[in-house]
Amino acid sequence: MVVEPAVPAHTAAGMRTAWRPVRPPYGPHQQSTAGRRAAAAALAAAGAADRTVPGDPDGRPRFPPGFAGSISHTDRLAVAVVVPGAAAVGVDIECAAISPRVARFVLSERERHTLLPPAGTCTPRELFSAKEAAFKALNGIGTGGHFLFWKIELSQSGDALTAFYGGATVPVWIRSAEDISFAVAIQR
């Protein structure tokens, strides 16, 4: 385990996370392969008989029925999360620094003032990752068709964040180590 958010037991029941390294030369093909390997490992750990994750025409991974899951990768590392019985799951990992300009682009003024220090405790990289994870989960429940991930609004809600878009909400949990941020959104 590299780093994993502390998702409450009632939400994370059966949740399985698997990590796989991206092999040289670290291109899109190798990143995709590492993601599919991570997904197969997470599905196996979750007890799925079918461990293949084909891609939809738009590139989104299609997990077996009953095993909601999601994949994310950087150029060196891939992760997959599977939550049996969940309606949708979204996961994201980020290693790259988020520049102040990019943070202003993806975070609303309210989010910057309430979630970043000194009022909040999140980093721009965690919030970027949270929006990506929420985007995947909200797409998984068919929210709103095509939309841009930074249009999702985040608010603090106890130990988690709540993501809002188009009348739908999903909780998001985040955790960071020095060189990576991990976010997972789970719609039960």
Partner 1 sequence: MPDEVSAVRQSIRELLREQHGGDRFVSTVSDSESLRQAGMSSNALVALLVAMEDAFGFEWDDDVHPEALRSIESLADHVVALRG
Summarize the annotated binding site as residue ranges. Answer: 36, 72-73, 92-94, 132, 136
Comparison of 25 and 158: residue with beta carbon closer to partner 1: 25
Q: Binding of partner 1 at residue 10 (CB under 8 A)?
A: no
Q: Binding of partner 1 at residue 31 (CB under 8 A)?
A: yes
Binding mask 105-144 for partner 1 (x = CB under 8 A): xx---------------------x---x------------
The 3-state secondary structure of the chain reads CCCCCCCCHHHHCCCEEEEEECCCCCCHHHHHHHHHHHHHHHHHHHCCCCCCCCECCCCCECCCCCEEEEEEECCCEEEEEEEECCCEEEEEEECCCCCHHHHHHHCCHHHHHHHCCCCCCCCHHHHHHHHHHHHHHHHHCCCCCCCCHHHCEEEEECCEEEEEECCEEEEEEEEEECCEEEEEEEEC
Q: Binding of partner 1 at residue 74 (CB under 8 A)?
A: yes
Comparison of 65 and 167: residue with beta carbon closer to partner 1: 167
Q: Binding of partner 1 at residue 164 (CB under 8 A)?
A: no
Task: Provide the binding-site residues for partner 1, judged by CB under 8 A.
Answer: 27-28, 31, 59, 74-75, 94, 96, 98-99, 101-102, 105-106, 128, 132, 146-151
